[in-house]
């Protein structure tokens, strides 16, 4: 059985090693993808984001599935949440050669179903790869708003 002095020494050593590790985590000692030094929290956050993103990357497979619908014409009316959202959604469709017209909070859409799904997936892929600036340059709208509008249009299609 350990004596009281031995337990105290062991406790102090463990406490000191804890603070050494804690200090090291907050110091910029770790390499980033850009070649700079970052702290351990940012490094581990990036590391676990890479692990989780890589295991959930299904966009290429979905694009291949969407190709099965290429050439299939569709026409539908989408009820959006607001006239502003309807106008933006119509603009996004029209910029991609899919006929769309906003009327109040409704958008009348017609075109190639496979092409529409493929372009939505390609835009989602840009956001997945943290390339929102490409979307912003393409549409002239905030990249998050673009992806949200695509999402809302798919929700509206599902309802119709």
Sequence ranges of the domains in the chain: 4-55, 59-159
**How far is it, in rounded angstroms, from Cα 154 to Cα 75?**
13
Who wins on pLDDT, 76 or 1?
A: 76
Render 35-68 in DSSP notation, one character per residue.
S-EE-HHHHHHHHHHHHHHHHT--HHHHHHHHGG
Q: What is the pLDDT of residues 118-135, one digit of tens each?
A: 999 999 999 988 899 999
Who wins on pLDDT, 148 or 34?
A: 148
pTM as predicted: 0.69
Match 């590391």 to its residue by tokens.
Answer: 47
Instruction: Tell me the mean pLDDT in the region 16-43.
Output: 92
Contacts of 75 (CB under 8 A, 6+ apart): 108, 109, 110
Q: What is the pLDDT of residues 91-118, one digit of tens each?
A: 999 999 999 999 999 999 999 999 999 9
Render 148-160 in DSSP notation, one character per residue.
HHHHHHHHHHHH-
The per-residue pLDDT for 1 is 67
């Amino acid at each position: 059985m350990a004596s009281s002095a031995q337990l105290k020494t062991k406790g102090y050593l463990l406490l000191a090693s804890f603070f050494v590790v804690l200090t090291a985590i907050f110091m910029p000692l770790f390499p980033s993808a850009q070649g700079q030094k970052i702290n351990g929290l940012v490094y581990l956050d990036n590391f676990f984001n890479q692990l989780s993103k890589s295991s959930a990357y299904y966009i290429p497979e979905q694009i291949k599935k969407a190709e099965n619908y290429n050439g299939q014409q569709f026409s539908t009316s989408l009820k959006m949440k607001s006239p502003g959202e309807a106008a933006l959604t119509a603009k996004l469709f029209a910029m991609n050669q899919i006929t769309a017209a906003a009327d109040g909070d409704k958008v009348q859409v017609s075109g190639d179903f496979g092409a529409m799904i493929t372009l939505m997936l390609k835009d989602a892929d840009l956001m997945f790869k943290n390339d929102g600036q490409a979307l912003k340059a393409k549409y002239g709208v905030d990249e998050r708003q673009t992806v949200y509008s695509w999402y809302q249009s798919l929700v509206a299609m599902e309802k119709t």
